[in-house]
Amino acid sequence: MDFEFTPEQLDFVAEVERFLDEHDDPEIFDLTRENMAQIVDTPKRREFMAEVGARGWLGITWPKEHGGSEGEGLYEYLLNEALAARGGPQIGKGVGIIGKTIIAHGSEKLKAEFLPKILRNEVEFAVGYSEPNAGSDAASMQLKAVRDGDGWMLNGQKTWTTSAHFADWYWVGARTDPEAPKHFGISLFLVPMDHPGITVKPIWTMGDERTNEVYLDDVWVPDDYVVGEINKGFQYISEALDLERFTLFTYSPVAQRLELLTEYVRTARRDGQPLAADPVVRQRIAQLHTQAEVARVLGLKFVFDSSTGGAPPTTQASEYKLYTTEFSRRLADASMDLAGPGSQLRVRTEDAPMAGRAESTYRYTVIDTIGGGASEIQKNIIARRGLGLPKNF
C-alpha cells in the first residue's frame, strides 16, 4: 500500500482546513479535550456538525441509496484527523457504530427513521454496553430483556455511558436469552433517553470529563426498535467495536503533543545547559518519533484494509488501538518526566511547561487505554484472531 496521499486527497484536506478556518470558535474547538472527549456535547458543537453534514461529509462512506457518497474510507479518516487536530468534535458513533450497523442489519423502519437524521446531525446517541460486572468483556452483560407482548421489558444497570446526559437515543445491549452461551444471547435495542424508566447519574473521570451510570427500570421497547435479529446483538457489537477502536483514537492530537514536547526540549535549559544536549533526552525523543511513525502507518493500514471489502479488520483495529493509546500514554509519561516539576501545573497555566498540556494529557491517556476495550482485551484479540493462539494459554 502507498502511505502518501494523492493530489485529490490533499485537495480534500485543504478544503476541510478552509472550512474549519471559517468556523473557528473556541466553544467548538478545544485542544485540551482529546480523543473520547471530542464529542458533540454542546449546542454549538451540534450546530457545527450539522454544517459538516450539510456538506455531505458525514456520509462519505455510506451507500448512495442511504444518502451517502460511497467514497473511500480514507476521506473519512482525513476528515476525522483534521477535526481532531483542532480539538473539534469528531464524526463519532452516530455515523459509524449506529449508522453503519443499521445500514447492515437494521429494518427498513429504522433506516428510514434514523439514517437521514444522522446525516444531518439531528440526533445524538449514547452507547450502553459496559455494566458494573461487564466492562471490556461486553459479552458478560446481564441487563435483562424479557419478552412482554409485542416488545421487551428492560431492567438493569449500565455504566461508563459517555453521552447519556445529552443524548437523544440509547443504543443498548441486553440479554434476551439467559440460557444461551454468553456471546449468543444478546440483542440490541434503541431506546429514547427521555423514557421515564431511565435514570442517569454522573461519574466524573480523572480526565475531568463526565461519563454516566444509567439505570433502566421497567423500560418497555417495542419490537420495531430491536436492531437486527434477536440474540445476534453481540455479533453486531463486535463489528461496530472495530470502528470505535479506530475512530475514537485519532493520531493527529498525539502527533501534535509530540511536536509540542519536541519544541520544548529544543528550547528548554536545565542547570544552565540546553536540555537537547543531554544524550538520554535525545534518545528518548528519537524513540518517541519512531514510535509515532509506527502509530501513523498502523492507522493508514487499517483504513486501507477496511476499504478492500469483506469482514471488518478486527485484528488491525485492535493493533492500532493498543499501540496508539499505549504510545500516547508513554508520550504523556515522557512529557511529565522531561518537563520536570513544572509539568504538574494544571492545563492552561501559561507559565507552565507546554502551558500545562502535559498534566492534562497524563490524566486523559489513562482513560484512552481503557475506553473501547482495555489494552488487555486488545492483546487477547490479537493473540486469538491474529496469531491463532488458543483461548487458554
Average pLDDT for the chain: 91
Spell out the alpha helix ranges (H) of 139-278: 233-247, 252-267
Of 230, 264, 288, which residue is a domain's last? 230
- Mean pLDDT value of segment 94-107: 94
31 and 112 co-located in one domain: yes
What pLDDT shows up at residue 311? Answer: 59
| Domain presence at residue 241 | no
What pLDDT shows up at residue 139? Answer: 81
Kind and range of the H or E run holding 47: helix 43-54
What pTM did the predictor assign?
0.89
CATH number at residue 142: 2.40.110.10
| Residue bearing cell 452507547 | 127
Beta bridge partners of 191: 170
| Domain presence at residue 1 | no
Q: Would you give the end-to-end CA distance of the chain in angstroms?
A: 34
Of 123, 150, 173, which residue is a domain's last? 123
Do 79 and 57 contact (CB within 8 A), yes or no? Answer: yes
State the SS3 of 181-196.
Answer: CCCCCEEEEEEECCCC
Minimum mean pLDDT among 25-39, 103-117, 211-225, 268-282: which range? 25-39
pLDDT at residue 20 is higher than 80: yes
| Domain presence at residue 213 | yes
Residue 211, helix vs strand vs coil:
strand
CATH number at residue 104: 1.10.540.10
277 and 193 co-located in one domain: no
Do 236 and 227 contact (CB within 8 A), yes or no? Answer: yes
266 and 378 co-located in one domain: yes
- Mean pLDDT value of segment 180-185: 90
Domain of 307 in residue numbering reads as 251-386
Q: Using CA atoms, how far apart are residues 203 and 199, in angstroms rounded to an integer? A: 13
| Domain presence at residue 243 | no
More confidently predicted of 373 and 155: 155
Q: Give the count of domains, the chain.
A: 3
Q: Using CA atoms, how far apart are residues 80 and 89, in angstroms rounded to an integer? A: 9
pLDDT tens digits along 32-44: 887 767 788 999 9
33 and 108 co-located in one domain: yes
66 and 169 co-located in one domain: no
